[in-house]
Structure 1
Amino acid sequence: MTIPPHGVITRGTGNDIIESKLMLSKPSVGSPTFILVMVCLMVLPEAANDKSLSDELESSSGPNMPEEILVHPTTGAIVLASVNDVPVYDVEVERQLDRLEVFEGLPETTLQIYRSSVLSQLVRQQAVYSYLQTTEFRASEQEVDLAVAEVKKTLANRGQSLDEFLAGGKADMAMLRRNLAWKIVWNRYLESYLTEANLRRYYERNYPQFDGTTRRIAQVYLGDPANEESFEWDKAFRNTVLMRDRIQQGELTFAEAVKQYSMSPSAADGGDLGWIGYHGPLDPRIHEAAFSRPVGDVVGPIQTRFGIHLLYIMEEKRGTTKWEDMVDEIRAAAASYLFAHVADRYLSDARVYYFGEDEATEMDPSFVRVFQKEFVAP
């Protein structure tokens, strides 16, 4: 069986799990504490019995495991995936969706896509954790013991025992210890790599994301929003590829392409869409494409829900926001990049199984930035 690279669609319910000292205060977005808390949140399944279920998984072939092994014997939580024999549960996915209030009221089909995306991120985080535990950043048993003692102290001050807390969150001590160990290793890893020198290098490579840089772009647009069902998407995409190639080979100028082919009112102005920032009101794919290549390049085709776009990057104006005013935002973005880099590198080395329905489709790009902001990792 081929193991899919991303999450699968599933359903589940659950409450928050770790509200210990790690999460009593609400850190500001972009702060180091925010980074650690949000990344930590992504690896806190609401139900777990790591040791016992891991032992079962070791002797089972992922896709062919008996159905009863995929259900936690005490809480009833369902295993959606496993990473190096560590289970990821449905209640964890639902808890993350509950935190993202922007998703409330969405149709079930859309929520299924986000369940798949959340599961994929959780699997990636577990792969990162497995790798870091083999490095000098690993958390020792003694360090985790001290963290557990801090949790007990915090709960006692709130009039709650650790057993009550774990039962209310459908968790056990093994899962709590793994979650605390994750915080320790990820904190240590970030402190090692997110130095001022590295942050400045990251900023210089990605300054348009932070300092208010704008670019002036023009487009060739093929589409018919009024008759979307009858629009020949595949044909339009292929024609735009051919158009781009002709422009790049010097057989056609961009201005000529706009005049001959563009179906947008902007064609009257040579396709000029004006100045846009890295973030803005247009489809996120347009903003990202506009900053993906140097000034003077043609970018695309880009498919949005409106049609097919071919962009020309005309000019750039550097922003004026100072480095000192962007440090927290840069740090959060760099942490996200660092996580993605490590996950992409080591996920292929992990033993990953998915259990459930078929893989979902791509996430709606209109929610991508909200998703990245909440989960830190892209």
Structure 2
Amino acid sequence: MTCARFLVSFLFAALAMSGPVSAHAQSTEGIAALVNDEPITTVDVRNRMRLIIASTGMAQVDEATLARIQDQAVRGLVDEHLQLQAARDYEIQVEDEEITASLLDLAQRNNTTIDAIIADLQNSGVDVSTLRHQLEAEIAWRILVNGRYGSRVRISEQQIELALERLAASASQPQYRIFEMYFEVPAPGQEDATVQRVVAVMNQLQQGAAFPELARQFSDAPSAASGGDIGWITESQLQPEVAAIMPMMRRQYEQSGGRGALSNPVQVPGGYMVIALVSVRDGTTTLQYDLVQISLPNSAVNEDSREAFQRLLDQEPTCTIAENRIGEIEGAILTDLGSISADAVLPQIREALEPLTRDQNTGLIENASGLQALIVCDRQIAGPGVPSRDDLENQLRGQQLSLQARRWLRDLRRESTIEIRE
């Protein structure tokens, strides 16, 4: 009997036990994989499989399901060994206090305690060291990625403004609370293996397993660390393939009486996604401007004042510069309008403001009382769950770091010697 087949049969029998496997049974264990000559034992794989089963609350576990769980356990352990080996190369050491803090964060996200988690694991025959090892790899990898790429990732004001523009365009769209799982096809020719992983997870979801715990163990997305939770989001912020199914998911959500909706697997560039829609709310965000208005009454309008007004606007002055230079336009009046909603201004003014970003102006606007122009001191989306500029910058930075992390891990897999014992 091969090592892999023995492991599945052994674990299937051992699942009936209430506690850890006996020392005699452990003595029969062998090597499941080698990662750059560093062994992953069948004990390691069995404990990870037990952790996956315990943490996801799988209702039914047959031998076919165990085989898929074993593949996931080995895959996860291989990646963690690569990450920790890289950490050692860079002399990165994760302290016990950091692992405990991460464990506390995990407990708080699941509305429980560390002691309760440890007790649940022990009841399932899993030593807490298995979970701590997983958390250690997550922390070490995060430190490594930030250290290697953090200083190289630059988020420009233009990128932030573009993100704000997308938010502004979607301000009135419905908002969805979404959990995600992403399954990467790591290399050409491995799509079938990825599809099998997706099918196994979908089967467990249909049997009542918890989405967040499955996401934590199986998802290849950075959101796996938070159980796949990506918070409130609009269709325009989703990948096009996922956005296309949201109207159908909303109908399912409403038909369920608000209990939630689960997507079928969606093929996206590089892999597959599964989406859980847990809540919906109508768009409650508004576009807010901080504005300065320059007015030139009819009594002060002449050729010279008009030209001076136009010269100032052509230079795209900031609100502060405009305030300092208003004296160049004879008879002009500068008014700080403060923060004002786009819905509160006249339609023609709203239309003129719509394409503008910070420090841009409407140009000359003629009306019955004379000439006027508006300068945008700031522009932001206001409403529940709307990110600040700093939040947007952190989100964009996280996306860039995540992309670099996936590429680096792929390089480590390709450059390493990995032997899976069949």
Normalised by the length of structure 1, the TM-score is 0.34
TM-score computed with the length of structure 2 as normaliser? 0.31
